[in-house]
Each structure stands twice: as structure tokens, then as C-alpha cells.
């Protein structure tokens, strides 16, 4: 037994009004339930409700990152779906120690990602080299290779911290903030 046309119309109008209430730049047409908004506002809304991170785990932080994708934490409900291809991902989570030998390969994967792209540095090793920072073969922070949007401290950080970092990044996307890569590009060109 399906919904009647009037009930169907009422539900679509309520849904459009809810989305319009969330973002003042969007306006809902009361008669048809259609949203009218600038294209950039709609794109920011979509980016703010969907995140496809690429996994780049190299050490113990990767176990915590894998736990985030498990049924216990269920990141699918937030619109977060882990991808293994840089061409399908819009965020790179760097979890663990980055050696000098691995850095060019990580940079290559980062460059293969589509714009806008975001980077999350997860754990002490990714942020500053961690306990290995004085080693001759360790990169002392992923921000020496690529611009980082979110830093998640800890050794290793809990899964809840990674979820908080992902949700923070999604809120920034919904607000239309620039990624660290876009800000870096504008600063080097002298526009900021």
C-alpha cells in the first residue's frame, strides 16, 4: 500500500523545508518542494554530507583507522565510505610513520586525487615523526610533503578522535571553507 499523492507531496515539501532551514542560502518552494539555491551552495552541501577517505595506513594508527570502518562505529551513517583508489577519494588519511622512501609514492597518490582534496594527519608519527623523529629515514610530519587540513594527535588516537576529525572536515566543507591545498595555492600565487 503506497502513499497518496497529497501525502507524497507533503513529505517532499517537508524535506525541502528541512534542508532549506539548515542552510539560509537555499530557499524552498512551498508548492512543489523544489530547492532553489546557487550551485556552489548545493555543491558545499553535498561535500559536507559525504566524505570518501583514501586509506594510507603504515603503522599502528592504521589499526585504529580500520576499526573506524567496522560495524561498531558504522561511519556509513555519516556518509563516510573508505576507498582504496585515489581517483575515487576526496580525503587522504595518513595514519602512521612515513619513511623517506615512501614519501614520493604518497605524494603521487595525493596528486592523483581529484580537487578539492583534503588530508588528515592521524597520530604522532604522521604529525611530527613521533618517537622516530630523530631517525635518518623518517619524515618529520606529513605537512612537509603536502598541506594538511586536520591534525589528530595521539599515539595511537582512538577511533572516536578520527570520527571527530572527519566530521569536523565535513562541517568545514558544508560551510564552504577552502581546503589546505587550495589555501596554499592561493598564498603562493599572492591572492591571500
* Domain-located, residue 55: yes
* Domain-located, residue 117: yes
Q: What pLDDT sits at residue 45?
A: 81
Q: Are strands 27-28 and 35-36 parallel, antiparallel or unpaired?
A: antiparallel
Q: Which domain range does residue 88 map to?
A: 51-189
Q: What pLDDT sits at residue 168?
A: 92
Q: Which has the minimum average pLDDT: 15-24, 40-49, 96-105, 172-181?
A: 15-24
Q: Are residues 99 and 14 in the same domain?
A: no
Distances (CA, A) of 20 to 11, 50, 63, 79, 128: 14, 18, 39, 20, 42
How many domains, the chain?
2
> Residue 128 sits in a domain of what CATH number?
3.40.50.12280
CA gyration radius for the chain?
20
Q: Are residues 71 and 164 in the same domain?
A: yes
139-160 pLDDT per residue, tens: 999 999 999 999 999 988 999 9
Q: Are residues 22 and 103 in the same domain?
A: no
* Domain-located, residue 112: yes
61-113 pLDDT per residue, tens: 889 988 998 889 888 888 888 888 889 898 999 998 999 999 999 999 999 99
CB 100 within 8 A of CB 137: yes
* Domain-located, residue 171: yes
* Domain-located, residue 45: no
**Quick one: which of 89, 94, 95, 5 has its CA closest to 54?**
89
* Domain-located, residue 115: yes
Q: Are residues 95 and 122 in the same domain?
A: yes
Distances (CA, A) of 123 to 2, 27, 148, 165: 50, 42, 13, 12
* Domain-located, residue 43: no
Mean pLDDT of 126-150: 90
Q: Are residues 63 and 34 in the same domain?
A: no
Q: What pLDDT sits at residue 69?
A: 86
Q: Are residues 168 and 97 in the same domain?
A: yes
Q: Are residues 23 and 55 in the same domain?
A: no
Q: Are residues 29 and 55 in the same domain?
A: no
* Domain-located, residue 46: no
Q: Are residues 141 and 184 in the same domain?
A: yes
Amino acid at each position: 500500500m503506497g502513499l497518496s499523492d497529497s501525502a507524497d507531496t507533503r513529505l517532499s515539501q517537508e524535506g525541502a523545508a528541512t534542508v532549506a532551514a539548515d542552510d539560509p542560502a537555499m530557499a524552498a518552494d512551498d508548492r512543489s518542494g523544489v530547492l532553489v539555491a546557487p550551485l556552489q551552495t548545493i555543491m558545499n552541501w553535498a561535500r559536507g554530507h559525504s566524505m570518501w577517505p583514501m586509506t594510507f595506513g603504515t603503522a599502528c594508527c592504521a589499526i585504529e583507522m580500520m576499526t573506524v570502518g567496522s560495524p561498531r562505529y558504522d561511519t556509513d551513517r555519516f556518509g563516510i565510505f573508505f576507498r582504496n583508489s585515489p581517483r575515487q577519494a576526496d580525503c587522504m588519511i595518513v595514519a602512521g610513520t612515513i619513511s623517506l622512501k615512501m614519501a614520493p609514492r604518497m605524494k603521487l597518490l595525493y596528486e592523483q586525487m581529484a580537487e578539492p582534496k583534503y588530508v588528515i594527519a592521524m597520530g604522532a608519527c604522521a604529525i611530527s615523526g613521533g618517537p622516530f623523529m630523530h631517525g635518518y629515514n623518517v619524515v618529520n610530519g606529513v605537512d612537509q610533503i603536502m598541506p594538511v587540513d586536520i591534525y589528530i594527535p595521539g599515539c595511537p588516537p582512538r577511533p572516536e578522535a578520527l570520527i571527530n576529525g572527519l566530521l569536523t572536515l565535513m562541517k568545514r566543507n558544508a560551510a564552504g571553507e577552502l581546503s589546505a591545498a587550495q589555501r596554499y595555492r592561493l598564498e603562493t600565487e599572492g591572492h591571500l
